[in-house]
Structure 1
Amino acid sequence: MASRTVEERFDRVEEFNALLCAAEIVAQGDWDEQFTADLRDTFKRYGPHTYLSDSQLQQLERIAAQ
C-alpha cells in the first residue's frame, strides 16, 4: 500500500503523537533513536500531513512495544 498521511491513518492526530512519544521513551539503540528523532522532525514540519508508509508504521509500533 502507498504511503498515507498521519491524518488518514489515525482517527485523531493525538493517537499518532502518543505512539511516537511512547516509542521515543523506550527506543533502544542508535537506529531506533534516530528513526524516532527523524520521524519527530518530519512531524514537526508537516504535522498531520506527514506521510507514513506501512513499513514506517510497523517500525514505530515495534519500537513502542519494547
Structure 2
Amino acid sequence: MTQQVQDLYDDEAEFKELIDCARMSAANDWEEKFVAGIIDKFERFGRGMYLSDLQHEHLKRISGEE
C-alpha cells in the first residue's frame, strides 16, 4: 500500500529525523542511494510525497528503528 507522508507522520520533523538517521546509518551503496532518493522526493514534494509500505520498512530498518 502507498500512503502520503502526511498520513503516516503528523509532524514533519519526525519524518525528517527518520530520513536523517537513515542517511547517517546507511551501510552500503544501495542504502545510500535509496535514502538519497527518498530525500530528493521529500525535498520536491514535502509531506505530500507518496511512500510505499516497503519503502517505509526499508527506511526504518536502515535507521535502526526495526
| Global fold match (TM > 0.5) | yes
Q: How big is each residue's C-alpha offset from its partner over 1:10-43, in whole Å with a ceiling of 9 and x where there is no partner? A: 1211111100000001101010000000000000
Q: Secondary structure at the match of 1:52?
A: strand
Aligned structure 1 segments of 4 or more residues deviating by more than 3 angstroms: none
Alignment partners' CA distance in 2, 1:4 and 1:52: 5
* 1:47 counterpart residue number: 46
The runs of 5 or more residues in structure 2 that have no matched partner are: none
Number of residue pairs matched by the alignment: 65
Alignment partners' CA distance in 2, 1:27 and 1:19: 12
Alignment partners' CA distance in 2, 1:14 and 1:53: 19
The runs of 5 or more residues in structure 1 that have no matched partner are: none
Deviation of residue 59 (structure 1)? 0.1
Alignment partners' CA distance in 2, 1:55 and 1:44: 20
Task: State the TM-score, normalized to the length of structure 1.
Answer: 0.93
Q: Secondary structure at the match of 1:48?
A: helix
* 2:14 counterpart residue number: 15
Q: How do 1:19-38 and structure 2 match up within 5 A?
A: 19-38=18-37
Task: State the TM-score, normalized to the length of structure 2.
Answer: 0.93
